[in-house]
Amino acid sequence: MSNQAQPLWQPTAEAIAATQMDAFRRHINEKFALQLADYADLYQWSVDEREHFWAELWDVAGVVAETRGERVLGADVMPGAEWFPGARLNFAENLLRYRDDKVALVERLENGSRRQLTYAELFARVGNLASALESAGVARGDRVAGFMPNIIDTVVAMLATTSLGAIWTSCSPDFGINGVLDRFGQVQPKILFACEGYFYNGKTIDSLPRLEEIVAQIDSIEKLVVVPVARSAAETAEAISALERAVVLDGFLETAPARELTFVQTEFNHPLYIMYSSGTTGVPKCIVHGVGGTLLQHLKEHQLHTDMRREDTLFYFTTCGWMMWNWLVSGLACGATLVLFDGSPFYPKAQSLWDMADEEGISVFGTSAKYIAALEKDGCKPRESHKLDKLRAVLSTGSPLAHEGFRYVYRDIKEDVCLSSISGGTDIISCFALGNPTLPVYAGELQCRGLGMAVEVWNDDGKAVTQEKGELVCAKSFPCMPISFWNDPDGSKYHGAYFDSWPGVWAHGDYAEITGHGGVVIYGRSDAVLNPGGVRIGTAEIYRQVEKVEEVLDSICIGQEWGDDVRVVLFVVLREGLALDDELTQKIRTTIRANTTPRHVPAKVIQVADIPRTISGKIVELAVRNVVHGKPVKNQEALANPQALALFENLEELQS
């Protein structure tokens, strides 16, 4: 990574001085009589002085709590660190600190419908639902699940659940029946919130047949609360009349006695959310996240790293099956307006989300790298067709954003935005590396490591390196580590997931590099790294080049065992009507070769009709590698399009 690269965007000195990040740096300097000159200094201080950092963040971010307790850090070990061991607080209370007439939530469905709720209305609605849940026997530690689209009712259900000290878990309604049973079946929810149908890509999808099966197979569900989305309340009531233990949302709310909304105060590490690993290598792991760690980390990422304020309108294109939903909803603690969208981002046209950005005055627009790449391939240029006058930040995650994606945003979306590629995951319900309104943006780089996170890149000898590729690790404990895995009494699954490589050090499973100016480049998942001739290659390095070839819409790259070595195999999905011939194969190889090394050039380039992805849109290199090698793929329910795996079976081209 050349240090001479020119930034694509740079904040002005005035803009930097106006950020909450820079105000925090000045606050630290004043309080501790320091002279931290810039973000690099502040970051180093936050890692060296973690206890001071997290304590100051608690105060500056205005955490609402019964008590913070005396100590910041008890046992400083991984796993098992004890942050704020004496604290008592409630997550929902922090997200509902504003109770005025400012719009809190805007809901937009792809069929054009729109609803909104003010902070005062949200508070009242959460109170009503919390009362109904309490009447239904939900108490501290119980699980409440949502099989729901990204709508207002889902946010209300999560807040009502967590106000009681109960645990929220969700997945999106596009999950197949086994995907739902693999998740909720493990955590045994008492109440299930579910929609009777939803809209996607111009179609109305009926959820009722799956609801019947879920309730029949998960005995713990005492009540199924059905939320009308695709039908009216009356039609929904009729449709579920024969469904066991089912009640329409309105009917459920009518049972609630009127009461004041109160917030059960819990310890810092009380379970808040159960999240799920993608489950492409077996039954999904149930990752339990705590109240305090999630809250503190999200406040840090929203207020400091995204510079979010009350006047902002935050949007993230996500489903309730992806951790970005949980991240988005925490924006309520900043008092911002959140835009919830459910449906296909390309329906009815490629510009749909940008129309919405103008209509709602979105200032922070979050999406996936895949969406940005698809927009570019579609020739979409929002800059020419839309005002986007409020837009000041674009966030991208899900997979590494290619250099071309960075350039596309500045060329064709908006010149003056802070484009933040962010990376972390379900495992930490947040980011290890992310954006920063005080730093320049370089193509292909995440701007910085997150405050308070001792993120390093280690080589095979376990030594920290910069400007060299290696394993992304976190060398010191941090508050948003999972508190446990569900159904893992001895902690062996949890330990095996992150701490097998280096005892007491979190190994995240990303192949990465820290650049000369403190940015981070992610080259792909460590377990998908290619190894031709013993040289480690991150798949993102190859995808970056393939994205330049306009005939190619999508690609996936694996290492195939061949002879005594591994050879690189690239599968490509081409634009409609195109067939892979020698000329196009040569063009792909030449493009890769011109910008990488001979080892990156695929031995085989093969056209396929589709590429398997998880429900949250990530390509599954390991699953394809297993199919190519004739090994089983254990959990196909985790895939959005499992039928695509068959395209990689017994390919003649791979026999020679």
> What is the mean predicted confidence (pLDDT) over 180-195?
97
Model confidence at 531, pLDDT cuts 50, 70, 90, reads confident
Q: Is 373 helix (H, G, I), strand (E, B) or coil?
A: helix
Give the range among 110-124, 310-324, 556-570 with minimum mean pLDDT: 556-570
Q: Closest Cα to residue 252, out of 159, 130, 155, 120?
A: 130
Q: Given this model, what pLDDT does residue 1 score?
A: 42
Q: Given this model, what pLDDT does residue 78 score?
A: 95
> What is the mean predicted confidence (pLDDT) over 581-605?
93
Go through the domains of the chain in sequence order and give each one's CATH number. Answer: 529-655 (3.30.300.30)
Q: What is the pLDDT of residues 597-651, one digit of tens each?
A: 888 999 999 999 999 998 778 889 989 999 999 998 877 877 889 999 999 999 9
> What is the mean predicted confidence (pLDDT) over 145-163?
98
- Rounded to the nearest 10 degrees, the angle between the axes of helix 50-60 and helix 291-299 is 80
Model confidence at 9, pLDDT cuts 50, 70, 90, reads very high
Residues ≥6 apart with Cβ < 8 Å to 151: 107, 109, 195, 227, 229, 340, 342
* Residues 140, 130 contacting (CB under 8 angstroms): no
> What is the mean predicted confidence (pLDDT) over 423-444?
97
Q: Given this model, what pLDDT does residue 4 score?
A: 58
Q: With 60 as the cut, is the pLDDT of residue 2 above it?
A: no
> What is the mean predicted confidence (pLDDT) over 69-75?
96
Q: What is the pLDDT of residues 470-513, one digit of tens each?
A: 999 999 999 999 999 999 999 999 999 999 999 999 999 999 99
Q: Given this model, what pLDDT does residue 544 score?
A: 86
Q: With 80 as the cut, is the pLDDT of residue 592 above it?
A: yes
Q: What is the pLDDT of residues 389-428, one digit of tens each?
A: 999 999 999 888 999 999 999 999 999 999 999 999 999 9
Model confidence at 281, pLDDT cuts 50, 70, 90, reads low
- Specify the pTM: 0.92
- Which is it for strands 337-342 and 364-368: parallel, antiparallel or unpaired? unpaired
| Percent residues over pLDDT 70 in the chain | 99
Residue type, 244: E
Q: With 80 as the cut, is the pLDDT of residue 373 above it?
A: yes
- Give exposure, 362-401, as e/b (b: 16+ Cβ within 10 Å): bbbbbbbbbbbbbbbbeebbbbeebebebbbbbbbbbbbb
d(CA 352, CA 77): 47
- Which is it for strands 393-397 and 418-421: parallel, antiparallel or unpaired? parallel
Residue type, 321: G
Q: Given this model, what pLDDT does residue 280 score?
A: 66
d(CA 210, CA 173): 9
pLDDT averaged over every residue in the chain: 95
Q: Is 47 helix (H, G, I), strand (E, B) or coil?
A: helix
Q: Given this model, what pLDDT does residue 3 score?
A: 46
* Residues 9, 416 contacting (CB under 8 angstroms): yes
Model confidence at 546, pLDDT cuts 50, 70, 90, reads very high
| Percent residues over pLDDT 90 in the chain | 88
> What is the mean predicted confidence (pLDDT) over 578-588?
96
Tokens of 311: 């006047």
What is the CB neighbour count within 10 angstroms for residue 579?
7
